[in-house]
Amino acid sequence: MSAKAQSPPYPSAARIADSDCYPQYTASLKCLEEFHSDKSKCQEHFDVYKECKKKEREARLERNRSRSLFS
């Protein structure tokens, strides 16, 4: 197995599939597919995903608040 296959080039980079918001993300895409990219029909899905990402970001900031670069 090559080194490239063993580890991703950016191991610290977050993947959307690892997010707690992945179900909301896929629901948004599925809606767009169902309504032939008519974004107006999918606004509720976008709003739910946006709110999830906001909460995810707030949780990450709270976790990082207790960390220090100098400790």
Q: Where are the domains of the chain?
A: 39-63
Using alpha carbons only, give the angle 71, 19, 15 rounded to the nearest 5 degrees.
85
Token pair recorded at residue 32: 């767009």
Using pLDDT thresholds of 50, 70 and 90, give the confidence band for residue 68: low
* pLDDT tens, residue by residue, 32-64: 999 999 999 999 999 999 999 999 999 988 888
- How high does pLDDT run on average in the chain? 82
| Cβ contact 35:49 at 8 Å | no
**With pLDDT > 90 as the criterion, what percentage of the chain qualifies?**
56
